[in-house]
Amino acid sequence: MFFKIISQAISDVWEMRGVLARALIVLFTLLIILNIVQVQLPGSPFSIIVVILTAGINTLFAVTVHRVVLLGPDAVPRWGLFKWTMRESLFLLHFLGLMLTMLPLGWIFPGPVSEPTLITGSLIAYVALCWLWGRLSLVFPAIAMDQKVSYLYSWEHTKGYGGLMFGVVIIFPIILSVFTTILNFLPLALKGPEPYYKYMAVVQVASNILITLTTVFVIATLSVAYKEICKEVYGEESPEPDEKVAPKNRKI
């Protein structure tokens, strides 16, 4: 099912490319501007404001992609979402909740580890955390579709799909990130350090564009995973907005 989901996500993004490009162009431009401001003003008091604005715009960005992929081109305004609602607040709060799960690992492994036992332990812990993220991430496309759900919804619906969600949420983004990494270091590898800094602005813009494209595909993949799992659970692409957990007489 993993490769089917990836293939369908690529197909959906390509089919909706015009709608997505128009709905995301303003948000993308704002993210570029905020990124430049953050680079130009490191350590500035404005950095906190930039971080908050970036989080908000990224939330609108993700909700837009989820809604277009799952509900079609008419699910968002022509030029994208700009109105903040309870839906976006729930989306962002659940994302921050996932980020908070990293804190225990920071306390247990506060710095670089060199002992083989600690290396193994930290690796197992991080894999377990990533698996947990996969199990809980189905909440995001559900919230984007205006369902009032929580992590429990995702946990119930991903029973038996832990490996699939690990691939969708962790493995696929890692594979895509390789291209961005190559782009960032390609000038340095080919020309040496001086040309890299000379063309750093160009590389940064190109990198931001590539990151945006990969982000769209990652979000779309999660949307398609949600759609496919709901087909298995409900026999349709998504439950009713007020249906928070899978029917008990169906295997999930």
Q: Measured over all CA atoms, what is the biggest interatomic distance in the chain, rounded to whole angstroms?
A: 65
pLDDT of residue 251: 41
Distance CA 182, CA 135 (A): 30
Cβ pair 147, 63 in contact under 8 A: no
Distance CA 193, CA 204 (A): 15
- Residue 104 CB-half CA count within 13 A: 7
- Specify the pTM: 0.83
3-state secondary structure at position 226:
helix
pLDDT of residue 201: 64
pLDDT, tens digit only, all 252 positions of the chain = 899 999 999 999 999 999 999 999 999 999 888 887 877 776 667 788 888 999 999 999 999 999 999 999 999 999 999 999 999 999 999 999 999 987 776 666 555 656 666 667 778 888 899 999 999 999 999 999 999 899 999 999 999 999 999 999 999 999 988 887 777 676 555 555 555 555 666 767 777 788 888 999 999 999 999 999 998 887 765 655 544 444 444 443
Report the length, in residues, of the chain. Answer: 252
Buried b (16+ CB within 10 A) or exposed e, 188-208: eeeeeeeebeeeeeebbeebb
Buried b (16+ CB within 10 A) or exposed e, 78-93: eebbeeeeebbebbbe
CA dihedral 110, 112, 116, 121 (to 10 degrees): 40
pLDDT of residue 124: 84
Q: How many CB atoms sit inside 10 A of residue 127's CB? A: 12
Cβ pair 176, 214 in contact under 8 A: yes
